[in-house]
Chain A
Amino acid sequence: MELLRFATAGSVDDGKSTLIGRLLYDSKQIFEDTLEALEHSSRQRGEEGVNLALLTDGLRAEREQGITIDVAYRYFATPRRKFIIADTPGHIQYTRNMVTGASTADLALILVDARKGIVEQSRRHAFLASLLGVPHLVLCVNKMDLVDYEESVFRAITDEFREFAAKLDVRDLAFVPISALKGDNVVERSPNMPWYDGTSLLHHLESVHIASDRNLIDCRFPVQYVIRPRDDRFHDYRGYAGQIASGTYKTGDEVVVLPSGFSSTIESIDTADGPVDEAVPPMSVTIRLADDLDVGRGDMICRPNNRPNVGQDIEAMVCWFSERTTLSPGNKYALKHTTRWARALVRDLHYRLDVNTLHRDESATSLSLNEIGRVTLRTTVPLFYDEYRRNRSTGSFVLVDEATNDTVAGGMIIGPTQ
């Protein structure tokens, strides 16, 4: 059974929580005691029936304020797939949650209200999904029951969205007309919309092809930990443990280790279950090399004829997460990239991007909470990186405030500074 991670986005009233509740409920993942607790809370609020939206509000403050503050993770499975939902709040002030949820997602699900059509927030979510390189996008036009299941309403919305999405880097786009409340086209095809010839949302989630989204070409193995048992049985064992970031590694492959540049061949790819002939992402393995080299955490094992960029001057898009501080040229941060920590100096802020209009404000001098901009960074040590669009693992980094240790930004690498 395959694993699909998806992020949902929408505003409070788009019915996102109702949709998630519906997916969980109809796939029988809501348990009776949870339902009982929901019924109880719904009654206390004077609501009739069960408010499925309450299911995703986990914290006291969220229930009190009636809003979702933080990303919540939900799980459900069908006989075909296991799903992890990153449920991200839709409020404007919580863009960082959407970015967080989208960073690991195979698919982003965006909800719009059929009565309202595409709003600023729908565009913003679609943009963030494309910025974070989410390979598949699904636009759910919800509340179709409130527009009499009219095909023309659905068509107008999809046409408008398609036009906007053409400006973005969206690889796969699908549209589903639904009613989360009534269940139309969520799990089963709805008889109320005979004009719709696509599949139900759940069927789409079960069948969308994700196996080839991984980068199986560029071999990148960031060394995470060196395994040296130093006991009698494994006296000379020296293995480089890590998770395959991208590419396909095979026993006998000629490899080169960065930063030293020394070459060797793969003697064995070990796991606790025995050696494997071939390793692909996201496997966690231990690589042994034929030669005795000095290799440590933060080094990278790749192929001699396909190397990442190596450099200290980097162009990147960053999304700023801190409420307390701003990003300005001259600031320094700790930077984590693959298994490597460095320090980074912000040399330049080129522009701030308006996530609603995609307008670039070149007069900007700083980025504050939830703002996105293009920066030039200089790092203390070279990074082994790729363009984010080609490689989400070696193209991403986070910035950490050295005074507070807070994670203050997520970054996506564009390339070397020219």
Chain B
Amino acid sequence: MQRLISHLDALEAESIHLIREVAAEFERPVLLFSGGKDSVVMLHVAKKAFWPAKLPFPVMHVDTGHNFPEVLQFRDSVVERLGVRLVVASVQESIDRGRVVEDTGPRASRNRLQTTTLLDAIEEHGFDAVMGGARRDEEKARAKERFFSFRDEFGQWDPKNQRPELWNLYNGRHRKGEHIRVFPLSNWTELDIWQYIADEQIELPSIYFAHRRPVFRRDGMLMAVTDFLRPLEHEEVFEATVRYRTVGDATCTAAVESTAVTLDEIIAEVAASRITERGATRADDKFSEAAMEDRKREGYF
């Protein structure tokens, strides 16, 4: 009478429970989908939670306008296959409408601007629950995050005043104008995500696998040359075999040198890696010890 449940089965069951709670208790939930591996896994789990019915909520992409084209194509094909409604919240529109002012210069990034676009979209569509693929192992401020995380009418997170969360009893109660961020993958690690992708044979954007592309080195990280990101004069462009460990805005997401072209090779690489995925690939988290906490307080993902 052992009936052992593997850790991935336990994590999946927990995430399904959370997503079903959201569908049952909120009027207008939405699931954030960027085409990045975590949101791909979250969407896959959500699909399983309601099988054989369709997803009872739309998905939303906060589009910085600085995407890898492979990822946009992937996003559209997944959405079409699932027959789910896609809401695109555009940072470019926020800029055009004067809601945010874009940084200038070679190191400008739209990463932080996404917060305004996200909060505006939540307000415009009246979303009361916003599911995101953030994990607690990613970053130290995220390690303190709840599954159901309250946001006030300004979209702010107050880390010192979080609701206690016991057993699997989630409190999503809120007033009009406030909302709840839900993180169904809180307890998954990067390695769990990859093992699950392999087990479930989940399709990913091609840039997660090793490929050749022109890159240049900035702050010790390999940045792709794209329409949105150009090397400075002293930054030398060369071709390298790389892959992405995370997929975000092309201006602040770095590639890692890798020859891993299969999921098994990626898993072996992740298991042996001595650097966190954010540390290896995110220029935005190098600002300060509390960069993520500050962004999260303002309403970031």
Given A70-B159, A280-B3: A60 and B191 within 8 A (CB)? Answer: no
> Most chain-A CB neighbours within 10 Å: which of B49, B140, B163, B280?
B140
Give the residue name and chain of the A residue nearest to B56 (CB).
A225
Q: How far is the CA of A130 from the CA of B167 in the complex (A)?
A: 15
Chain A residues 60 to 113 lying within 8 A of chain B, measured CB to CB, are 60-61, 63, 69-75, 77, 81-82, 84, 96-97, 99-100, 103-104
> How does the 8 Å CB contact mask read for B1-40 relative to A, with 1 for contact and 0 for none?
1111111011111101100110110000000000000000
Contact with A33, one of B7, B167, B279 (Cβ below 8 angstroms):
B279
Q: How far is the CA of A33 from the CA of B283 in the complex (A)?
A: 13
Give the residue name and chain of the A residue nearest to B2 (CB).
A211
Query: Inside 8 A of A330's CB, which chain B residues have their CB?
Result: none
The smallest C-beta distance from B43 to any residue of chain A, in angstroms, reads 13
Q: How far is the CA of A60 from the CA of B293 in the complex (A)?
A: 8
- A2: interface (CB < 8 Å): yes
- B276: interface (CB < 8 Å): yes
- A156: interface (CB < 8 Å): no
> How does the 8 Å CB contact mask read for B153-166 relative to A, with 1 for contact and 0 for none?
00000011011111
Query: Inside 8 A of A336's CB, which chain B residues have their CB?
Result: 169, 171
Q: Is A211 in contact with B3, judged by CB distance below 8 angstroms?
A: yes
The smallest C-beta distance from A171 to any residue of chain B, in angstroms, reads 18
Q: How far is the CA of A104 from the CA of B63 in the complex (A)?
A: 37
- B99: interface (CB < 8 Å): no
Given A59-B293, A73-B136, A237-B52: A224 and B4 within 8 A (CB)? Answer: no
The smallest C-beta distance from B63 to any residue of chain A, in angstroms, reads 29
Query: Inside 8 A of A234's CB, which chain B residues have their CB?
Result: 52-53
Q: Is A58 in contact with B53, judged by CB distance below 8 angstroms?
A: no
Query: Inside 8 A of A270's CB, which chain B residues have their CB?
Result: 51
Q: Is A396 in contact with B21, judged by CB distance below 8 angstroms?
A: no
- A152: interface (CB < 8 Å): no
> How does the 8 Å CB contact mask read for B107-139 relative to A, with 1 for contact and 0 for none?
000000000000000000000000000001100
Q: Is A396 in contact with B167, judged by CB distance below 8 angstroms?
A: yes
> Most chain-A CB neighbours within 10 Å: which of B164, B165, B290?
B164
Given A2-B6, A75-B136, A234-B52: A400 and B171 within 8 A (CB)? Answer: yes
- A272: interface (CB < 8 Å): yes
Q: What count of chain B residues pass the 8 Å CB interface test?
A: 63
- B62: interface (CB < 8 Å): no
Chain B residues 162 to 202 lying within 8 A of chain A, measured CB to CB, are 162-169, 171, 173-175, 186-187, 189, 191-192
Contact with A73, one of B21, B52, B143 (Cβ below 8 angstroms):
B143
Q: Is A284 in contact with B290, judged by CB distance below 8 angstroms?
A: no
Q: Is B6 in contact with A284, judged by CB distance below 8 angstroms?
A: no
Q: How far is the CA of A410 from the CA of B167 in the complex (A)?
A: 9
Q: Is A241 in contact with B20, judged by CB distance below 8 angstroms?
A: yes
Query: Inside 8 A of B174's CB, which chain A residues have their CB?
Result: 405
Where chain A touches its partner, the secondary structure class is: mixed
Given A72-B144, A84-B187: A407 and B24 within 8 A (CB)? Answer: no
- A384: interface (CB < 8 Å): no
- B50: interface (CB < 8 Å): yes
Q: Is A334 in contact with B53, judged by CB distance below 8 angstroms?
A: no
Can you list 30 contacts pairing A with B, beta carbon distance less than 8 Å? A2-B7, A3-B5, A33-B276, A58-B140, A58-B143, A58-B293, A69-B160, A70-B144, A74-B137, A75-B189, A77-B189, A97-B164, A211-B2, A212-B1, A224-B17, A224-B24, A228-B53, A229-B54, A237-B52, A243-B17, A272-B47, A280-B3, A321-B164, A337-B169, A396-B166, A398-B169, A405-B171, A405-B173, A407-B165, A407-B166
**10 new A-B pairs (CB below 8 Å) besides A59-B140, A406-B163?**
A1-B7, A58-B144, A61-B160, A74-B137, A81-B7, A99-B166, A229-B53, A230-B53, A233-B52, A284-B17
Chain A residues near B (Cβ < 8 Å) = 1-3, 28, 31-34, 37, 41, 57-61, 63, 69-75, 77, 81-82, 84, 96-97, 99-100, 103-104, 211-212, 216, 224-225, 227-231, 233-234, 237, 241-243, 248, 270-273, 278, 280, 282-284, 286, 297, 321, 334, 336-337, 339, 392-393, 396-398, 400, 405-407, 410
